[in-house]
Amino acid sequence: MKLYMFGIRIYYQIMGRINPKFASEKAFRLFQRTRNLKFKKRELAFYQKAHHFIAPSPVGDVHCYEMGDPNGPLVFLVHGWESNAGSMAGIGYKMADKGFHVVSMDLPAHGHDNHSHTNLFECKEALISVIDRVWPSEPFSVISHSFGSAVTTFALSERDYPIDQLMYLTSPNELSAIFEYFRDLIHLPQKPFELIIEKVNRMFGEGIVNLTVQEKAKEINYNHLTMIHDKNDKVLPYIYSQKISNYLPRTELYTLENAGHYRMLWNDEVYDRISLQFKDEASTLHRKSAVA
């Protein structure tokens, strides 16, 4: 791995000075590549249990999965980078057991999608298409993990859907910081890096300085946002969620310790917090069922 990274860095240091445009295109392509990771057993079990359907989108067909009561309160699950819909199966099962209508999906270049490259823009387009395909008639909720929280934020900021509960199981914040980390990782010279930023600005139609979760979330019509983050998270720093929760109204931050970044998706403490946040909806659903 060290030898591979050494070669990558030498390549971009040289090519970035010889041909900045070419280097920027190659680097942006590398930035968008997802690894082809094997499914875990519990993820495969989810795919076997859930009902599968397709949602057409501008970036290709999106593989979607649903479980629970189709007439129950609707909740979308949005997974993170280099993950898949099955990674959130534990949460999906819990919500379905409580009578919710649970819809999740494989984001582009993830899960059963056959592409190898994607980005935030494509993923938020995919999520918008899934929501529009389901066409909610009442306020709904979203539970997202990691990169999926950014996808959720950017997607919902472009729609007028009323949102009941937002739950971010960790979240990035500033898009510029992600690109700066990538620049430093591969030792990309400044000129090709600037060309990448210009490309991102054109893609989103605004400057990257405005492309933050905390700013985009202000455009969402939500009742409440709960953020759950391990203070020792080694993938996304805890301070990201701190900054977002301090900035946004109707937001609370629930702090975990040593739950991990990925392991938190199968953590009883997380399940309990989700159940607590959704208890009013579950109670209402139970009362409706009793009357019927």
Whether residue 211 is predicted with pLDDT greater than 50 in this model: the reply is yes
199 is a domain residue: no
179 is a domain residue: no
54 is a domain residue: yes
Q: With left for phi above 0 and alpha for psi between -120 and 50, is residue 146 left, alpha or beta?
A: left
202 is a domain residue: no
In a 10 Å sphere around its CB, with 0-12 CB exposed, 13-18 middle and 19+ buried, how is residue 110 labelled? buried
Token pair for 127: 């999520």
Quickly state the pLDDT bin for 286 (edges 50, 70, 90).
very low
265 is a domain residue: yes
110 is a domain residue: yes
Please answer whether residues 161 and 140 qualify as being in contact, where contact means their C-beta atoms are separated by less than 8 angstroms.
yes
Whether residue 271 is predicted with pLDDT greater than 50 in this model: the reply is yes
> How far apart are alpha carbons 76 and 83 in whole angstroms?
16
In a 10 Å sphere around its CB, with 0-12 CB exposed, 13-18 middle and 19+ buried, how is residue 282 labelled? middle
- pTM value is 0.93
CATH of the domain at 63: 3.40.50.1820
Helix (H, G, I), strand (E, B) or coil at 19: coil
186 is a domain residue: no
Q: What is the mean pLDDT of the chain?
A: 94
Tokens 């709904």, residue located: 140
182 is a domain residue: no
Q: With left for phi above 0 and alpha for psi between -120 and 50, is residue 189 left, alpha or beta?
A: beta
Token pair for 284: 């209402």
State pLDDT tens for residues 6-62.
899 999 999 999 999 999 999 999 999 999 889 999 999 999 999 999 999 999 999
- Count the domains in the chain: 1
| CB neighbour list of residue 4: distance below 8 Å, 6 or more residues apart | none
Print the domain residue range for 233: 32-173+212-291
State pLDDT tens for residues 87-117.
999 999 999 999 999 999 999 999 999 999 9
